[in-house]
Amino acid sequence: MPQPSSSWNLPLDRALVRLRAYRQISGAWNETVALACSGGVDSTALVILASEAFRRGKVAPFVVFHVDHLSRPESSLEANVVRVLCEESGVPFAALTVAETGPVPGRSIEDLWRERRYRELARAASALGLGAVVTAHTRDDQVETVLMRVFSGSSPGGMSIYTHLDGSDGRLNLLRPLLGVTRQDLEEVLTVSAATAIIDPSNADIAYRRNAVQHEVVPAIQRVFPGFEEALLRSVELAKTDALYCDGQAAGAYTRLREIIPGGIRFDRAL
């Protein structure tokens, strides 16, 4: 597999490495990975940050994947924008495509797109022998994810910096080093780098549930509870800590109280 060039065309800007987002990328991976880039603000900033971090020897080599859902006429042009960014940065690039997803009863189109996108990322990463795929999810994405899970009646847990998904195309290891920074932090990366990103008009369509949460629900909560995001995520972490403690206590009790007998396990009801 080709490696990123050691001679970057992106201008060296000391202001870039002083940004909080750069500090999150620096040292984030030590083996060759793939970066998922749609060409939007967040993932374009990810490529810029990773390029500078690699140039400075702070991360291992990487290849950029762009997934085209073929859902809009201009999607192939967007893939070309990402390709040009990678050429200017000396970064290996791979264009991936997935068939347009039709409606499935009981499933949102967003979920279906994400499922097929991750499946294709897993396939491509496995084919190149890559250890993980890095995404540009931010703290804003984390807040939206927690709210969507709460509103749907699911566990309020959020995304983890490192996790994996098991599917028919194998395990996809995901790395999200930017969960601690905001979209505004990544917009600052583009400003410092004098870079531009693709504006996907569908991101403003509140017919999609996540867009509605981003553009309507979150601002409404902010008006009543300014800065609620930090408190929300802290509550999630406290709940996670409580759950881990309870699981540990249950596991310990199980070990203490069980009696292994021929053919099975026995518990004394009196205990």
Q: At a CB cut-off of 8 Å and minimum separation 6, what does 254 contact?
A: none
Question: H or E segment at 261?
Answer: strand 259-261
CB 216 within 8 A of CB 206: yes
The answer to whether the beta carbons of residues 121 and 65 sit under 8 Å apart is yes
> With contact defined as beta carbons under 8 Å apart, do 53 and 8 qualify?
no
Q: Are strands 162-167 and 170-175 parallel, antiparallel or unpaired?
A: antiparallel
Place of tokens 């804003």: 140
Q: What does the pLDDT profile of the chain (271 residues) look like in tens digits?
A: 444 443 444 445 678 888 999 999 999 999 999 999 999 999 999 999 999 999 999 999 999 999 998 777 777 788 999 999 999 989 999 999 987 666 677 777 778 888 889 999 999 999 999 989 999 999 999 999 999 999 988 877 789 999 988 766 667 899 999 999 999 999 999 999 988 899 888 888 898 889 999 999 999 999 999 999 999 999 999 988 888 899 999 998 888 888 888 888 888 776 6
| Interatomic CA distance for residues 242 and 238, integer angstroms | 6
Q: Are 228 and 221 in contact (CB under 8 A)?
A: yes
| Closest by CA position to 159, among listed 170, 172, 146, 173 | 146
**Which tokens in the block code for residue 86?**
């990678």
3-state secondary structure of 68: strand
∠ Cα 140 168 100 (to 5°):
65
